[in-house]
Structure 1
Amino acid sequence: MSNIVDPLVGQIAARVRTERERRRWTLAQLADASGVSQAMISRIERGESSPTAVVLGKLSAAFQLSVSSLLALAERAQDDATDTVAAVHRRDDAAEWRDPATGYQRRQVTGPHFPAEIAEIRLPAGARVPYPAAAFAFVRQVVWVLDGHLTFHDGDTVHGLDAGDTIELGEPTERVFANTTDTACRYAVILTRTTQP
């Protein structure tokens, strides 16, 4: 059985606190930069609240990281592989993060030493996850639909994507991942960093 939510809550808490402290920001400064309340950030950093995908999007945007990067950094503690050793990642051992608001589920496919980040996403029927433009800064990203139908809002443009379809994302803009059907959608996100913030 997959290890869902609980182990990652503490790792996400530590990563958010580490990213904030690395920038020497107070809770108030991160709240101002992200639009997330100080109280919510404090609960997240203490591991008392699992952030939603929307909140993670706002925090990652404030840090100038993608959501995938923020979560991959949180998951690093589970992967001690080096880039000189072949690393096998078993499905049943993978940490999965579930958005408590939408049921959106994310599993990191690649380890921290691989040059591209690949994550598998399961978006439940009816779920809608918006992200601010800044969450896509400093990355090149491809979304590849594996099963189902994804309605993808790229700024003002809406794309209907079916199994096998891909979209290569351009300049950062507000984006929404939506499943407007009555069955789950599964897609992969593949990204590389273009520069360091």
Structure 2
Amino acid sequence: MGEVDQVEAQLDAADARLAARLAGLRGEHGWSLDELAKRSGVSRSTLSRIERGEISPTASLLGKLCTVYRRTLSRLLSEVESEPARLVRAADQPVWTDATTGFRRRSVSPPHAGLRAEVIEGTLPAGATIDYDDPPVPGLEQHLWLLEGSLRLTVQGETHDLEPGDSLRFRLWGTSRFDCPGPTPARYVLTLVLP
């Protein structure tokens, strides 16, 4: 098996574990697909296809499901991985890419039992936008530090234009929007702290 085939097999396995975990979460709550569709605003057919591993969810769609399940995206993704070590080598940091927007999310310091914070590195391509309807956890504390590019971040209706070196800190209770006006990708570090 070549290197490309191994990477594709690992991605397929990760998608399968994510699909199984999402189906498991719905089962833990005792919800039908119709009930989850009603709570999340995602169609029943899309939810069914995701849980069967037929399609890979987008960042925005996962954000909706995380809100319903009261989890951060990092926490959900960590639940499909093995228990993270205290020392997380760069090569071992889970990376997830949204095939629709090209958004790339590296879990630099993944969620860990007993710890409230996690650190991610996000890279949003020029021209890409991600909308989140609700926070995964109401009152989630966030600290964003922009490393490269420019980023327009709208938090609960208030828009902030960030340039390299700028930081924005807030507690999230409502909608948020990440927009990279370009011409280069926006790369940032985001620290999430559970309330």
**For the residues of structure 2 that align with 1:5 and 1:183, how far apart are their CA atoms?**
27
User: Judging changes above 3 Å, is the alpha-carbon distance between structure 1 residues 172 and 17 closer, same or farther for their aligned structure 2 residues?
Assistant: same
1:94-133 alignment runs, 5 A limit: 94-113=93-112, 115=115, 116-133=117-134
Seq. identity, %: 36
**For the residues of structure 1 that align with 2:144 and 2:157, how far apart are their CA atoms?**
18
1:91 aligns with 2:97: no
Higher mean displacement: 37-46 or 100-109: 37-46
Partner of 1:57: 63
**For the residues of structure 2 that align with 1:111 and 1:134, how far apart are their CA atoms?**
18
Once the two structures are superposed, residues 49-68 of structure 1 have per-residue CA deviations (whole angstroms, 9 ceiling, x without a partner) of 11011111111111122333
Partner of 1:84: none
Partner of 1:155: 156
**For the residues of structure 2 that align with 1:58 and 1:48, how far apart are their CA atoms?**
19
* Count of residues in correspondence between the two structures: 187
Higher mean displacement: 143-152 or 108-117: 108-117
Secondary structure in structure 2 of the residue aligned to 1:135? coil
2:123·2:187 contact (CA, 8 Å) conserved in 1? Answer: yes
Please give the TM-score of this superposition, normalised by the length of structure 2.
Answer: 0.86
**For the residues of structure 1 that align with 2:130 and 2:97, how far apart are their CA atoms?**
12
Partner of 2:37: 31
**For the residues of structure 2 that align with 1:66 and 1:174, how far apart are their CA atoms?**
14
1:64·1:138 contact (CA, 8 Å) conserved in 2? Answer: no
Partner of 1:183: 184
Higher mean displacement: 52-61 or 165-174: 165-174
Q: CA deviation at 1:39?
A: 1.3
Structure 1 unaligned spans of 5+ = 82-86
1:9 aligns with 2:15: yes
1:145 aligns with 2:146: yes
1:58·1:131 contact (CA, 8 Å) conserved in 2? Answer: yes
CA-based RMSD of the aligned residues comes to 2.2
**For the residues of structure 2 that align with 1:51 and 1:158, how far apart are their CA atoms?**
27
**For the residues of structure 1 that align with 2:144 and 2:11, how far apart are their CA atoms?**
23
Q: CA deviation at 1:5?
A: 4.2
**For the residues of structure 2 that align with 1:70 and 1:128, how far apart are their CA atoms?**
22
**For the residues of structure 2 that align with 1:80 and 1:169, how far apart are their CA atoms?**
27
**For the residues of structure 2 that align with 1:110 and 1:134, how far apart are their CA atoms?**
20
1:34·1:62 contact (CA, 8 Å) conserved in 2? Answer: yes
**For the residues of structure 2 that align with 1:111 and 1:132, how far apart are their CA atoms?**
23
Give the letter aligned to residue 133 of structure 1: D
Runs in 1 of length 4+ with deviation above 3 angstroms? Answer: 3-7
Give the letter aligned to residue 25 of structure 1: W
Secondary structure in structure 1 of the residue aligned to 2:65? helix
Relative contact order, higher structure (CA 8 A, sep 6+): 1
